Amino acid sequence: MNVKRAFLLASHVMAAVALAHIAGSAALAADHTATVDEGLAAVRKQAPVDAEKLFKKDLKDTKTAKALLARYEVAGFYRLAGDLAKSRDYLDQARAVEEDYEGRAKLSGRDAAREVGAAFSNDKATIYKGTAPDKTMSHTVNALNRLFLGDREGAYVEIRKALEYQQFERERHDKLIAKAEQKDDAAAESDDEKKEREQEASAKDMEAKNPKLAEAFADLGNAVKDVRNSYENPFTYYLAAVMFHAEGPDSLNEAWVNIKAAHDLVGDVPAVQDLYRQIARQQFKGDPDGLRAAIGEVEATDAPEADSAEVVVLFEDGVVARKEEVTIPLVVPNGTNVIVQNLSFATYGKNTWRPSANRVDADGLRVDAAPVASITKLQMKAFDEAKGKMITRAIIRATTKGLAQNELEKKGGIFGSIVGKLATNLPESADLRAWYTLPDNIQVARLRLSPGPHTLNLNIAGTVRRVDLQLEPGKTILVDAQQYRDILNIWSGKL
């Protein structure tokens, strides 16, 4: 193919992309955030939400860019409506979509077209494949759904899937670190890993050189500085420990592994400390040195009564924070010259949301709940971990369009000049997609009570709800209070 034909082809491709973008601008305007907002507005008014209608297009086809995200959100809306069965079903569908994505060894032609479209328009053209917090929470939430629907066995299957995913991500991360330490060994790093590392370095360099870019991500960096990573969810570890501990001695090792992991992440949370010490006593029974190494010197009164019952109360508080769009002018090359292009990025602003004050009153006891996990911060951390790629894609996109514009102007005549300028000046639109119907944070309170009938008074952001329970010796009951504005759902189930 000669140069003239090549540039003629390029001009047609850019024209098609530009026209497709213009034709689809109305669809982009009705983006994911706006759709979620429409649903949440109805929830706040306590009006029925037809979540399936809101996400109708993306529920019909498992191959659309938002097929997975639509199922996450519909599951979330049904949970807010108190319909655990439909929430469970849509999370099952989401997992099927995830497996379809994971099973593709190579990009399909349709996927590749979206990637090309993203190069010339924005990241919304790419397929949303879920973040680490998404995948962990989809299984963790479904474990709760199944437990409260009476499917105890299914609940344990789901929590194990959540743990398996976290283990997979942890091992993958450890391998990347090990390879980075062997960077002098050319065989230790794959081409994709090398590209990812170089993209991250390039993005950091760009941030360092562009104060406005660094400023756009300043609040994000401050918010996640105390979050170790995005793929280890302390709530998932804690819930797993509670569930395995309730199984008895045969599952004690699993309970110990998971409460240790939770304690390592959020060891200052009273409910985590309490369960950690209790399981340690059982794990190191007859081994005083092992117990001392785990929890130090402990008074005898710290041990629970053998026939007491346990009540674990979860508080799902609000919904996660939103991404924001910021537009920054950046200088990019345009052949022998440079041009200024306005690039739009997603980011997070200051998170002003504060966890609600929740507590449990029972039998004269007053136990304050404490946050065991901020799902908002886990999502923010996942975004922070991936933002280097986002910045690099945006810069490549701008540079590619700038160079293409220059060449089309030189080789394509008037038509090439028009198409080049049209494609180069396509409006940037940040990708603000995320799973927005997840709770902002999850709080936990833990009580040990005598067997028999009990009444819990749940003080949920100033609203008191009564829950009557029949407790059995040595058994555990899980209570879950989900609150968003004036919506309040309470479920309970025996472990």
For residue 22, is pLDDT > 50?
A: no
Top pLDDT among 462 and 378 is at: 378
Give the model's pLDDT for residue 301: 44
Token pair for 470: 């029949």
At position 322, the amino acid (one-letter code) is: R
Query: Once rounded to an integer, what is the mean pLDDT over residues 105-129?
Result: 61
Which residues are bridge partners to 314 per DSSP? 444, 480
pLDDT at 29: 39
Q: Evaluate whether 482 touches 489 at the Cβ level (below 8 Å).
A: yes
Q: Point out which residues pair with 439 in neighbouring strands.
A: none
pLDDT tens track for 309-330: 999 999 999 999 999 998 888 7
| Tokens coding 222 | 């401050």
Summarised one tens digit per residue, pLDDT across range 412-441 is 565 555 555 555 555 567 889 999 999 999
pLDDT at 105 (0 to 100):
46
pLDDT band at 81 (very low <50, low <70, confident <90, very high): very high
Residue 2, pLDDT > 50, answer yes
The mean pLDDT value of the chain amounts to: 82
Going by their DSSP bridges, the two strands 358-362 and 452-460 should be labelled as antiparallel
Q: Any idea which of 66-70, 113-117, 293-297, 448-452 has the lowest mean pLDDT?
A: 113-117
pLDDT of residue 122: 64
Whether 161 contacts 407, CB under 8 Å: no
- State the pTM of this model: 0.86
pLDDT of residue 24: 46
Categorize the per-residue pLDDT at 298 as very low, low, confident or very high, splitting at 50, 70 and 90: low
Indicate if the pLDDT at residue 70 is higher than 90.
yes
Residue 468 has φ and ψ, to the nearest 5°, of: -95, 130
- Give the whole-angstrom CA distance, residue 260 versus residue 355: 25
Beta-bridge partners for 453:
470
Q: What is the pLDDT of residue 334?
A: 61
Query: For residue range 212-258, what is the model confidence (pLDDT) as tens digits?
Result: 888 888 888 888 999 999 999 999 999 999 999 999 999 999 999 99
Give Cα separations from 404 to 389, 399, 420, 423, 426 (angstroms): 22, 8, 7, 9, 13
